Amino acid sequence: MPFESYKNSRILVTGGAGFIGSHICERLLDAGAEVVSADNYFTGSRRNIAHLIANPLFEAVRHDVTFPLYIEVDAIFNLACPASPIHYQRDPVQTTKTSVHGAINMLGLAKRLKARIFQASTSEVYGDPLIHPQTEDYWGNVNPIGIRSCYDEGKRCAETLFFDYWRQHGLPIKVARIFNTYGPRMQPNDGRVVSSFIVQALKDEPITVFGDGGQTRSFCYVDDLVEAIMRLMVTAEDVTGPINLGNNSEFTIRELAEKVIMLTGSRSKLVFKPLPQDDPRQRQPDLAKAKAVLNWEPKVALEDGLKETIAYFKRSLEIA
């Protein structure tokens, strides 16, 4: 039976206590779904879903996706995996297992249930890209043995598995390549550039810029991303992806740092450190496919999204 509506559906979100996963859980509940969050809390946080616990349609399960999960659901959002370099490099073998074994286990569950399944892939599958902006038909420029490879290649392998399940078993899949995303519920210590800059600025500490700050990123506010994911999941079965999701407004890292200093009123100064291994110089999505297929494009300007994110971190740091 095709999956057409979230209302009255029972939906599994792996990584449901994570930054993006918790926002997905929230949106699904708003749409009338019954939601099961599965998370091992390695990088996810109970705080992210604490406000949902009282909802009778929400259930939080402690589970590691590298082990099979036996549950009955109508659809699966697979978002379980550490997504920031600090976290995914802490235990690189486990990171690869989470992407690969996690995909195998969730695909096996979806196959048994004949359920639609979404895969949160990443712009990291493009590596340090040689074309700009990146389109979905670009195969990437990835170092298979570098310190980032556990994440990049794990996610590439997961995409392979998803498309093989689609071809071999006719499984309804949806694959999104998610570009840099920011917003409330990011962790203050995750090493991502937006959270790092905001926390340093709020504490009036020096802001650490790697390289000369001339490398570029495109930052998508989490609400925009979630809207795109929600739309992708209810598209026709012949829409498999991969589809780029993000924001195509490009900024240098230095511009981001200066914007954060301005918006926080911080006295922080910039300090420059060597660029980490395999850090991409440019990252910008081509969103033509998302616009055509989902009738979607990002709406939240960087400054507006940063204001919301700064307000969140101010509250979080006060609690801490």
Tell me, what's the pLDDT at 84?
A: 62
Name residues whose C-beta falls within 8 Å of residue 146's C-beta, 6 or more positions apart in sequence. 277, 278
Tell me, what's the pLDDT at 1?
A: 41
Q: Nearest-5° angle of CA 231, CA 282, CA 272?
A: 125
Q: How far apart are CA 232 and CA 241, in angstroms?
A: 9
Q: How far apart are CA 22 and CA 40, in angstroms?
A: 13
- For the entire predicted model, the pTM comes to 0.94
Q: How far apart are CA 296 and CA 92, in angstroms?
A: 34
- 151 catalytic, yes or no? yes
Counting every residue written for the chain, the total comes to: 320
Catalytic entry in 6, 151, 165, 182 = 151
Q: Nearest-5° angle of CA 219, CA 48, CA 124?
A: 35
DSSP code string of 190-215: S--HHHHHHHHHHTTPPEEEETTS--
- Each residue's pLDDT tens digit, 252-298: 999 999 999 999 999 999 999 988 776 777 889 999 999 999 999 99
Tell me, what's the pLDDT at 276?
A: 75
- Each residue's pLDDT tens digit, 225-251: 999 999 999 999 999 999 999 999 999
**In terms of DSSP H, where are the helices of 127-252?**
149-169, 193-202, 222-233
Tell me, what's the pLDDT at 4?
A: 66
Q: Which amino acid is at 293?
A: V
Each residue's pLDDT, cut to its tens digit, for the chain (320 residues) gives 456 689 999 999 999 999 999 999 999 999 999 999 999 999 899 999 999 999 999 999 999 999 999 999 999 999 998 776 766 777 899 999 999 999 999 999 999 999 999 999 999 999 989 999 999 999 999 999 988 889 899 999 999 999 999 999 999 999 999 999 999 999 988 888 999 999 999 999 999 998 889 988 999 999 999 999 999 999 999 999 999 999 999 999 999 999 999 999 999 999 999 887 767 778 899 999 999 999 999 999 999 999 999 999 999 888 54
CA distances from 125 to 47, 66, 122, 135 (A): 30, 21, 6, 12
Domains observed in the chain = 10-180+222-246+284-299 (3.40.50.720)
- Each residue's pLDDT tens digit, 36-52: 999 999 989 999 999 99
Q: How far apart are CA 189 and CA 185, in angstroms?
A: 12
Token digits of residue 36: 């099961």
